[in-house]
A and B are shown apart, each in its own frame.
Chain A
Amino acid sequence: MKKKSLSLTAKDRRLGLMLLLPSIIILCAVIVYPMGHSLWLSFQNLNISNPARGRQYVGFQNYLEVLRSDDWWLSLLRILYFVAADLLVGISLGLGIALLLNKERKGKGVILAIIVFPYVLAPIVNSLIWKLIYDPNYGFLNGLLMQLGIIKDYVPWLAKPTLAIVMLIIANLWQGTPFSIVLFLAGLKSIPREEYEAAAIDGASKSASFRYITIPHLWPIIYMNVVMKTILTFKLFDIIYSLTGGGPGGSTTVVSMLIYRETFEYMKFGQGAAMSFLLLILVLLLVVIYSRMFKEEEI
């Protein structure tokens, strides 16, 4: 009997291509073309509110101007502060809560639903909730701290530069940590019980089990958390836009705010596009670094 070949015939390939074609066209229309156009814009001097000047090809001038600007570097430092807080506090908190929730207990499902709630809310709704919480005169936070006797006077949380950024980080953690919890919970479920039982028989302490069994198994989840949180935090916009608008005194103006401002308020599309691509390069660079770091750890 003649064996049927496993390789695709030209007809199969054509059919496959035909089936993929609609998706390819849509992807090109909504991703490839806008990105290509945006890249092209980044080499143009284009202020659409000044049509008399038209657009001029300026090469890398937009990129150089961005890199020379203090605002860019300051906003980058601010978002790195957000990222660092999100990675250190957010991931530790996510892992801690996931470990607590991993144990079988009554009402676990309800607790999990409450914890995941901020993640399923629309970001703008989250922002409005935090606006109410931080309200200096009628806010929940001031009310609570006053009743507990921790503060003597109402604090305008978002009116002080150093405090405002911390309050935004807390609001962002509240929104982002459930994502880590869900990922870690899924990871913890996949660790075989037998490994813990064997370790216990061998006399391993709980901390040793955590160090040598839990963490190695969760390593890919930690990697995914770090990458996703970095990407999500770098594009953080909603909370900052609605709570402080970049203030007070520009102290919460991060890169995404700067890009928005340059593009949609100043209408300088060329510079806005250049900033976006610089941000893209930076995030890609960080992901490559992470991937190498985690690969080395695995070895």
Chain B
Amino acid sequence: MIKKNRIVFLVSLMILALILPAMAQSDNAVELNTLEGPSHVQFLAQRFQELADAKNIKVNLNVLPYGRDAVLKLVASFMAGGSQYDVFVLDCVDVARYASAGWLYPIDDLVPDSYRKDIIPFAKEGMMYQGKWYGLPWSSEWKSFIYNTSMLQKEGLKEFPKTWRDVVAYSQKLQKGKVVKYATAFSWAQKECLICDFVALAATFGGNFFDDNLNPLFNKGGAVDALQWMIDSIYTTKIVDPASLMWTEDDVQAAMKQGDIAYSLSWGNPLVRMNNPDESKVVGQVEIGMMPSVDGKHPYTVAGPMGYAISKNTKHPKEAWEFIKFMAGPEGSRIGLEREGYPAGWKSVIEDPQIQNKFPELKKMALQSQYIVNRPAVPWYGEFSVMLAEELHKALTGKMTAQQALDEAVAKTLEIKKAY
């Protein structure tokens, strides 16, 4: 009898083991897989839970360091059919490459008119390739020029510089007055950060990168002047810390937060970090201004808009669209900004009085948002960017003149374009 009971018990256990997983799946929740960077993970998990509660869409979060690692993983998934990650965070510099390869799901037909009117132009441009729209803006940031006002006041400098000539004069005054050793620093390590700064500076000198047929123009006019200014700022006027040649944005930000420099370029909303007493020694001292330029009339800066995009071969395009709307639509962006400081790509969000009360610096940032350039949208950007960073560095380290380095970069760009 006991033996019989044991057999019945074991059989029941086996039946339960088979039924329970099926029951767990029977809530009809669609599962999406996403690939994200390592920051704000708690916030993302919270938002994904809210999405699951509201729309019955379950999101599995995969985290990888932002940049090359994520690109490799994504490309491998696309090569293997493209359904491994249904939705993912897309950097503006990868849009052309992925879109031209046919790996992205175009969202033109899905985007409502209200979104089209509301999106900030540079954020939309960053998610477009050849007239097609591939993602909703998520973390639509640009580099702002920020100042340590306490340092400026020590030398009686009440206004922010409008031209690069002003920047040099102000910086030399600060250095002469021993307020700082070097007035400023840039992220000019031989990496993508150098390209970002060069694109911004070239635009402030009136330079262009490519014409409409993707013929390079950056060995002429403003771009050459910008590179020459960069070289001079290290070796002639000596206002830039030479360590800039090995620094990325994080290093520059650290120097600014330590009070070692008076000006710098900074992504996103810099005041969130500068005014955080846990990490900054310059709380309440930093303000945001417009980007200086060659003549005070080209206050352009560089943008790095990101977005949420859908994989072309996802098995759940409808749910994927629901996901990116939930996360990166105007309402989702507002929540991202309020809770975590993610820069929003929607006018309705950054112009909202309630948001502006909470983040008063957004008013100044909104002025800069009218003068923004993106990095070139070319499918061969990966190779182009690495090559250009090396050529720029040859000029910045004195191996070549600005003109020679940019001439060589243009010649190599044409080779890359031809070989693609």
Contacts and interface: CB of A to CB of B under 8 A. Distances in A.
A235 interface: no
A265 B382 contact: yes
Nearest to A156: B243
21 contacts: A49-B379, A50-B101, A51-B79, A51-B101, A51-B102, A52-B102, A154-B243, A156-B242, A159-B243, A159-B244, A244-B190, A244-B246, A247-B189, A247-B389, A247-B393, A248-B397, A249-B393, A250-B393, A266-B383, A266-B386, A267-B75
A248 B245 contact: yes
Interface in A247-299: 247-251, 253, 261, 264-267
A136 B245 CA distance: 11
Contacts of B383: 265-266
Contact of B190 (A250, A265, A267): A250
A246 B387 CA distance: 12
A156 B189 CA distance: 12
B335 to A, nearest CB: 34
A4 B172 CA distance: 95
Contact of A245 (B191, B379, B382): B191
Interface of A: 47-52, 136-137, 154, 156, 158-161, 244-251, 253, 261, 264-267
B246 A261 contact: no
Contact of A136 (B72, B246, B394, B399): B246
Contact of A137 (B79, B255, B390, B420): B255
Contacts of B244: 159
A251 B189 CA distance: 13
B251 to A, nearest CB: 9
A244 B191 CA distance: 9
- Which 6 A/B pairs are nearest by Cβ-Cβ distance? A247-B190, A136-B243, A159-B245, A249-B393, A249-B397, A249-B394
Contact of A160 (B189, B382, B397): B397
Interface of A, helix, strand, loop or mixed by DSSP: loop
A45 to B, nearest CB: 9
A75 to B, nearest CB: 12
A218 B107 CA distance: 70
A35 B68 CA distance: 24
A151 to B, nearest CB: 14
A49 B75 contact: yes
B260 interface: yes
Which size bracket describes the interface of B in this complex? 20 to 34
B396 interface: yes
A108 to B, nearest CB: 39
B382 A156 contact: no
Given A49-B101, A159-B245, A245 B397 contact: no
B97 interface: yes
Nearest to B72: A264
B243 A245 contact: no
A77 B396 CA distance: 23
B190 A246 contact: yes
Interface in B395-420: 396-397, 399, 420
B390 A246 contact: yes
A249 B260 contact: no
B245 A137 contact: no
A154 B393 CA distance: 21
A154 B394 CA distance: 22
Nearest to A164: B246
B382 A158 contact: no
Contact of A48 (B75, B241, B245, B379): B75
Contacts of B389: 247
A261 B386 contact: yes
A253 B386 CA distance: 12
Contacts of A244: 190, 246
Contacts of A136: 241-243, 246
A289 B20 CA distance: 66
A48 B382 CA distance: 12
A51 B379 CA distance: 12
A212 to B, nearest CB: 49
Contacts of B246: 136, 156, 158-159, 244, 247-248
B154 to A, nearest CB: 21
A154 B241 CA distance: 10
Given A52-B100, A156-B246, A244-B246, 13 more contacts: A49-B101, A49-B382, A137-B255, A137-B260, A159-B242, A161-B399, A246-B190, A247-B245, A248-B393, A249-B396, A251-B397, A265-B382, A266-B386
Contacts of B390: 246-247, 249-250, 253
Contacts of A267: 75, 382
A154 B182 CA distance: 12
Interface string B363-402: 0000000000000000100110010011001101101000
Nearest to A134: B246
Contacts of A52: 100-102
Contacts of A266: 382-383, 386
